[in-house]
Structure 1
Amino acid sequence: MTETLTTANPTFSRRKPGVLGGALIVAGSTVGAGMFSLPVVTSGMWFGWSLLLLLGVWFCMYSGGMYLLETNLCYRPSDSFDTLAGDTLGRTGRILNGLSVAFVLYILTYAYVSGGSSVVSHSLGMLTGIELNASFSALLFATVLGVFVVAGAGAVDRITTIMLGGMALTFLGFCHGLLSSADSQTLFPGLPMTETMPYIAGAIPFLMVSFGFQNCIPSLVKYFGKEPVALRRAAIIGTLITLMFYLVWQVSVLGNLERDAFPAVLAAGGNIGHLIGALEQSGVSLGLSLLLQLFSHLAVATSFIGVALGLFDYIADLFGFANDLRGRLITGLMTLAPPTVLAIVAPNGFLAAIGYAGICATVFALIVPVLMAAVCRSRGMNGGYRVPGGTPRMVLVLLFALVVLVCQLMNMAGWLPAFGS
């Protein structure tokens, strides 16, 4: 079925933003520190199942983003996610959506502080022999990078541009080395389905979070204007870039680390430093190890700054804090203090935090977009784009959301098998 697209609004046709630039915004909002969780959480089911699961999760998350785009195009380009939810789902829907967004931003900020402290401690220990306390590493990481968040979007834009360039170069460098040494028998060891299938359910929430790009859809609509063709292309290219990154990453790690090496990583908490340490013990060269560590520093720093800035702006808007030095310092304290304190108390909660984020991310990334699009269609609103597939596709996305919620709740209750335990 073809997707319904109409002519773009001429108001925005004088100088069109590039589709590639929009695609990079989408990819940049997804690819980051969260990718370090993928080999760890898929180690039980291993590479074959993880490949199929990545494709399925990509489709459902892309669909969720397109339902949000369909809704967003029915309103003014400047209208936010909060405005869309309030008008289509009422006050209750708006509050539920707002709470889910706030929780996800807070828990992911904590996850990236935890991950950042892990790689800082690991790198310092390897290069200097200094064993830095995990709690002190968390405080150091959050304080140094928090300066850029408080400084504002301009400072974040400059430092993020530099770090993304470094991420691309280091990713290509170490993946080239890891891919050349990847073993096909390690990737496809011929494990029986009865041994791998039980671990599929536990990985689904983590994969869902790794494809979350819905938060940038309103920004893209504001940037492009009502340009349905360009926006859809930017979204699909950006999410496919993300999918390609993840597939290369999975081959690079799972092709070099035996499945038996992962229970120890999981037992230690599954943090970024633990995975890097396992790769180093598998025999990768010092050069590749240094590239991998540099990439991990850049990835976790970029992810932290991006999520923390979104949380900073959300809090400033919610409480109406002034944009002066005092107001920004208060906002910065409310943004960074809770996740940093939690990272000091529980320094190895990287994997658990991403799993918890899956619960609320399901609400604003999948459930709310489908419901908003359904309301807009029932009102006869048409912004120039309609996601194909009709009701069956909507039902599929909602069923996927239900599966994610059930899987994560079962994870939290300890009802799903844990690999290596």
Structure 2
Amino acid sequence: MNKPSAPLPGQTATPSVLGGTMIVAGTVIGAGMLTLPIIAAGMWTGWTLAVLVLSFFMMRASALMILRANLRYRPGASFDTVVRDTLGRGWNLLNGLSVGFVLYMLMYAYTSGGGATLQHSLGLPWPQGLVSLGFGVLLACCIFWSTRAVDRLSVILMAGMVLAFVVALSGMLPAFQWDRLLNPPTSTEPVDTLPKVAYLLATLPYFLTSFCFHASVPSLVKYYGPDQPRIARCIFYGLLIAALFYAVWILIGFGVLGRDGLQSVYAQGGNISHYLAAVESVQAGAWLGPVVSIFAFLAVVTSFLGAGLGLFDYIADVCGFDDRLLGRVKTALVAFAPPVLAGTFFPDGFIMAIGFAGFAAAIWSVIIPALMDWKHARAVTQDQTRLLSFGARAQRLLIGVVLVYGVLAAGFHLLSPDVLDILPVYR
């Protein structure tokens, strides 16, 4: 195992917390948030906010576990290196497969969602699958061209997304009804005998995915050096910003569409176009529909570029493809052909794909970090005969709680309608 690192040679000033916070928030906030009002409609307001808070704290805790493990190495050590040295090659193989699976499923979701948004917004006469194909190929070409192109494009798109988000919310507010948040109307709903908490279980993978940025933790260590308090603040503030975005978006969706309206969106397939159509039917306006569509589209594009760049680099590293033209072509084909073609032939899988991504993300962003932290804590106290301090006991308890959270999130997805169809879903 590598020794803890010293400050980087020539490093004169540590970057600001603001920059790292924006890295975390920009990675977390994306198209995944568009699914949250739809899948949370069964729980409604109280339980939804409880799951949101739980997910925030659990994902922050698991990110700090990765941070502690990464700080035992020199800045620049990859997540792959840390897992292999800490847990061995078997767990590292599972970690690699999980990361690859998450990225492929997210790319499929964003291809499907981007095509649906374009077709709905522009009223295109072509099949949605064909629109998804064009959308995926165009953005894949941007990633193939260069990382710098993705960087520049992402900055512009993020600024536009935030502006569109604010304008879209202001346009939806006239149709917002506060009483729906506490007492959703039931006159048009089918008879539902289940308590709202029964719908909580199937939502955990979706909320977990919406807070997932953990592959960026080694990048933060490389960027800041071994400055644990500063990086921890970046993680906290970045996830807090994302949680506030999610809370506002979910509550506005609840207050505008109501529980029965969101159930109808899910029943239609739950793609972004169905949500946009529902919003436009409730709050008509010459400009609201296009603005909400622009926000959704920009969210999908930024997510596609971020996940796509990560998948491109991951495939190049795993397959050993070089950065010359032929190598980049091979990387692009392996990385983008499967999810883009899947989005073409199965265009309504946005929610399903996000759920499957949550299953795999629970493994590499929650379960594996908890196991690494547990192994380190066990090694530290293995030869000690004195009682553990209160802090050490609390740390072990937290490891256990995070591990249980990850196992439950993964297990609940296997019991969801997308797999074994045991857990109830409000649709």
TM-score w.r.t. length of structure 2: 0.91
CA deviation digits over 1:65-124, x for unaligned, max 9?
010001011111110000001000111011011010000011111010011111011011
Matched residue, 1:3: none
Matched residue, 2:319: 319
Matched residue, 2:151: 157
Matched residue, 2:408: 403
Matched residue, 2:397: 392
Is residue 410 of structure 2 the alignment partner of residue 416 of structure 1?
A: no
Secondary structure, aligned partner of 2:424: coil
Distance 2:322 2:6 in 1: 37
Higher alpha-carbon deviation: 185-194 or 300-309: 185-194
Of the three residues 103, 112, 115, the one matched with 1:114 is 112
Displacement after TM superposition at 1:161 (Å): 0.5
Give the % identical residues: 38
Equivalent pair of 2:184/2:259 in contact (CA under 8 Å): no
- Amino acid across the alignment from 1:299: A
Higher alpha-carbon deviation: 26-35 or 171-180: 171-180
Distance 2:169 2:118 in 1: 21
Matched residue, 2:36: 38
* Residues paired across the two proteins, number: 407
Of the three residues 72, 78, 81, the one matched with 2:79 is 81
Tell me how large the CA RMSD over aligned residues is: 2.1
Secondary structure, aligned partner of 1:50: helix
- Amino acid across the alignment from 2:423: L
Matched residue, 2:352: 352
Distance 1:150 1:329 in 2: 8
Equivalent pair of 2:377/2:396 in contact (CA under 8 Å): no
Distance 1:378 1:414 in 2: 38
| Structure 2: segments with no counterpart, 5+ residues | 186-191, 382-390
| Structure 1: segments with no counterpart, 5+ residues | 1-5
Q: Give the alignment of 1:192-271 within 5 angstroms.
A: 194-271=194-271
CA deviation digits over 1:351-406, x for unaligned, max 9?
0011111111011100111111222334449xxxx999311100000111121022
Matched residue, 2:368: 368
Is residue 20 of structure 2 the alignment partner of residue 22 of structure 1?
A: yes
Displacement after TM superposition at 1:254 (Å): 1.0
Displacement after TM superposition at 1:283 (Å): 1.9
Distance 1:286 1:226 in 2: 52
Question: Higher relative CO (CA 8 A, sep ≥ 6), structure 1 or 2?
Answer: 1
Distance 1:389 1:321 in 2: 45
Deviating 4+ runs (over 3 angstroms): 6-13, 190-195, 377-381, 386-389
Equivalent pair of 2:30/2:299 in contact (CA under 8 Å): yes
Secondary structure, aligned partner of 2:200: helix
Equivalent pair of 1:149/1:156 in contact (CA under 8 Å): yes
CA deviation digits over 1:245-270, x for unaligned, max 9?
00110122111112111232112210
Is residue 149 of structure 2 the alignment partner of residue 142 of structure 1?
A: no
TM-score w.r.t. length of structure 1: 0.92
Equivalent pair of 1:167/1:295 in contact (CA under 8 Å): yes
CA deviation digits over 1:144-171, x for unaligned, max 9?
1111110121110000000001011111
Distance 1:346 1:269 in 2: 12
Displacement after TM superposition at 1:13 (Å): 5.4
Displacement after TM superposition at 1:12 (Å): 7.3
